Amino acid sequence: MTHRLEGKVALVTGAGSGIGRATALALAREGARVVAAGRRGAPLEETARMAAERGGQVVAHAADVTREGDVEAVVRFTLETFGRLDVGVNAAGGTFGGGPTHTLDTACFREWIDGYLVSAFLSTKHQVGAMLKSGGGSVINVGTFVGYTKAMPGTSGYAAAKTGLIGLTRTVAAEYAPQGIRANVLVSGGADTPMFRSWNASEEQRSAAARLHALQRVADPEEIANAAVFLASGEASFVTGSVFTVDGGLSLV
């Protein structure tokens, strides 16, 4: 524990599992006080318990980040609880229907956009508003290789949302750099999360996913979280508007 984030306050969405949970724990490990947000309260409380066991401070707050009122409420809760906001990590998402583009239901496509892009927009919007009051900060939007370094059939909704996230984040970086707010996209390769396992249910599918990476494996969520810690910290003070790729060499293969 190096306490790189001592005195900082972070809000992590999607913190009930996977990369979001790993990031909340990693930020707390480095001394940040963390609000863990997500739809379901019980997994968030488990994240808070895990952090406490390791000497960190995480407070759970249920929120549906596709709803602006919920996002406003969790940001307000963060400010009321800790007095400021320095770091926002947006890792919330979900699983919706898929299939070839010509068969994809428009309502399903919109679910992907709402779940991954609109949610990140709302979170970023209100996090930036809080950071302007705190004198700066770091927004980290969690992206993916899908549609960015690799196009994968049957993922048009997911790919559209996640590549749209890049344009959103780079625009925010340009808008708020003068106010000391940095914004970056953290693009991960495959990571061994509950969602990854739901999409790759068999050992054969998981092995095939591993082979997409030059390192011939998928990441532990903590490996992605470590990159988020860097982007949140002062060590990344000159990094903004970047697409920070942590993909095990997937883009090389």
The pLDDT tens digits of the residues spanning 107-136 come to 999 999 999 999 999 999 999 999 999 999
| Residue 216 domain flag | no
**pLDDT tens-digit readout, 183-198:** 999 999 999 888 888 8
116 is catalytic: no
Which CATH number do you get for residue 54?
Answer: 3.40.50.720
Quote the pLDDT of residue 199: 77
Please tell me the total count of domains within the chain. Answer: 1
Residue 95's closest CA among 195, 230, 2, 14? 195
Bridge partners of 12, per DSSP, are 36, 89
Residue range 9-29: mean pLDDT, rounded: 98
Q: Is the pLDDT of residue 149 over 90?
A: no
CB atoms inside a 10 Å sphere around CB 226: 17
0.85 exceeded by pTM? yes
- Cα 150 from Cα 132, distance rounded (Å): 36
| Residue 1 domain flag | no
Quote the pLDDT of residue 159: 93
| Residue 211 domain flag | no
Quote the pLDDT of residue 193: 87
Quote the pLDDT of residue 92: 95
For the chain, what percent of residues have pLDDT higher than 70?
100
| Residue 149 domain flag | yes
CA dihedral in degrees (119, 120, 124, 125; nearest 10)?
-40
- Cα 24 from Cα 193, distance rounded (Å): 15
| Residue 253 domain flag | no
Average pLDDT, the chain: 96
| Residue 198 domain flag | no
Q: Annotated catalytic residue: which of 116, 148, 158, 176?
A: 158
**pLDDT tens-digit readout, 197-241:** 887 889 999 999 999 999 999 999 999 999 999 999 999 999 999
Residue 21's closest CA among 8, 40, 1, 2? 40
| Residue 154 domain flag | yes
**Structural domain containing residue 15:** 9-188+226-239
Residue 165's closest CA among 104, 113, 233? 113
| Residue 79 domain flag | yes
Q: Is the pLDDT of residue 178 over 90?
A: yes
